[in-house]
């Protein structure tokens, strides 16, 4: 048990210190356990999961394009996710929420910084429990997802000037990601053969291929600025995180994604 707790603490430390699309929350379709608060599983209508994800991107480097260098994207997304679990193995889901983004780049010797309007974000995806080793509480899951937001531009700064009004503005971001996660479960103060016990800690580690496309352009004081259609510069991510189930129908999650970008997420899932 001590080794398991030490492993969990280590993963959480990594996640908190280097916290893109959320791969966990939850790490596999089985979580959280139980028949659901509304018992939809027994009625044949479920189970349905409702989750909330708060996702912070602190530093995502973008590829250079013609006349543009040092491009970056950062910001936050706050998303609700609704999923339907099939045989505790497959979980398709949809996401909707808000985005709050910023981008910066260098163009023709000028440093450009833009702030997006608060925008609506939409996404969809699916999670599959590929295999598990029950006697060792090991599971391997796959997740694929897509996200899109088109918030527009609220303001821009040129060479650290004061905020300027803009015209002919456009700011669009699309993201897609495929990830694999290996998790190990530790039962706390309950029956190891029955996971639907008071507490379960599930640290996980994985990798992802993640890419994005950012398109931002605007005009101010008669000058056009355009980042172009630029993709993520680094497309491979290392993922660390942890699910904690308490009680049966609720789980909370913390996750970090790094190497390809510096990002963090936290969330909660409720089963109905």
Look at the alpha carbons of 9, 11, 13, 16 in this order and tell me if their dihedral is positive or negative.
negative
Paired sense of beta strands 262-271 and 48-61, if any: antiparallel
- pLDDT tens, N- to C-terminus, the chain (272 residues): 444 444 333 443 333 333 356 665 678 888 888 778 887 777 777 789 999 999 999 989 999 888 899 999 999 999 999 999 998 899 999 999 999 999 999 998 899 999 999 999 999 999 999 999 999 999 999 999 999 999 999 999 999 887 788 888 999 999 999 999 999 999 887 666 665 556 889 999 999 999 999 999 999 888 999 998 899 999 999 999 999 987 678 999 999 998 888 899 999 999 99
Helices (H), the chain: 2-18, 40-43
The number of CA neighbours under 13 Å toward the Cβ of 93 is 33
145 Cβ contact partners less than 8 Å away, ≥ 6 residues apart: 21, 95, 123, 124, 125, 126, 176, 177
d(Cα 70, Cα 261) in Å, to the nearest integer? 14
C-alpha to C-alpha distances, 111 to 50, 104, 107, 148, nearest whole angstrom: 42, 7, 7, 26
Length of the chain equals: 272
- DSSP SS3 for 237: strand
For domain 2-264, the question of CATH label 2.40.128 is answered with yes
């Amino acid at each position: 048990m001590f080794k398991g707790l030490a492993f969990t603490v280590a993963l959480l430390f990594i996640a908190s210190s280097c916290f893109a699309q959320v791969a966990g929350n939850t790490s596999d379709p089985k979580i959280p356990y139980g028949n659901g608060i509304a018992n939809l599983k027994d009625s044949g209508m479920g189970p349905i999961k409702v989750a909330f994800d708060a996702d912070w991107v602190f530093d995502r480097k973008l590829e250079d394009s013609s006349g543009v260098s040092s491009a970056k994207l950062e910001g936050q997304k706050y998303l609700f996710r609704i999923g339907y679990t099939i045989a505790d193995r497959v979980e398709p889901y949809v996401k909707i929420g808000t985005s709050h983004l910023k981008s910066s780049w260098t163009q023709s010797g000028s440093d450009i910084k833009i702030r997006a309007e608060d925008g609506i974000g939409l996404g969809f995806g699916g999670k599959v429990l590929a295999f598990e080793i029950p006697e060792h509480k090991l599971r391997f899951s796959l997740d694929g997802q897509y996200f899109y937001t088109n918030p527009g531009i609220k303001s821009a700064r040129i060479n650290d000037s004061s905020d300027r009004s803009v015209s002919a503005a456009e700011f669009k971001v699309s993201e897609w990601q495929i990830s694999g996660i290996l998790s190990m479960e530790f039962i706390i103060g309950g029956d190891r053969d029955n996971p639907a016990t008071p507490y379960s800690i599930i640290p996980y580690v994985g990798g992802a291929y993640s890419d994005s496309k950012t398109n931002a352009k605007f005009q101010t004081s008669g000058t056009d600025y355009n980042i172009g259609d630029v993709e993520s510069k680094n497309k491979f991510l290392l993922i660390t995180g942890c699910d904690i189930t308490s009680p049966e129908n609720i789980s909370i999650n913390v996750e970090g994604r790094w190497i390809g970008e510096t990002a963090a997420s936290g969330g909660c899932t409720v089963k109905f």
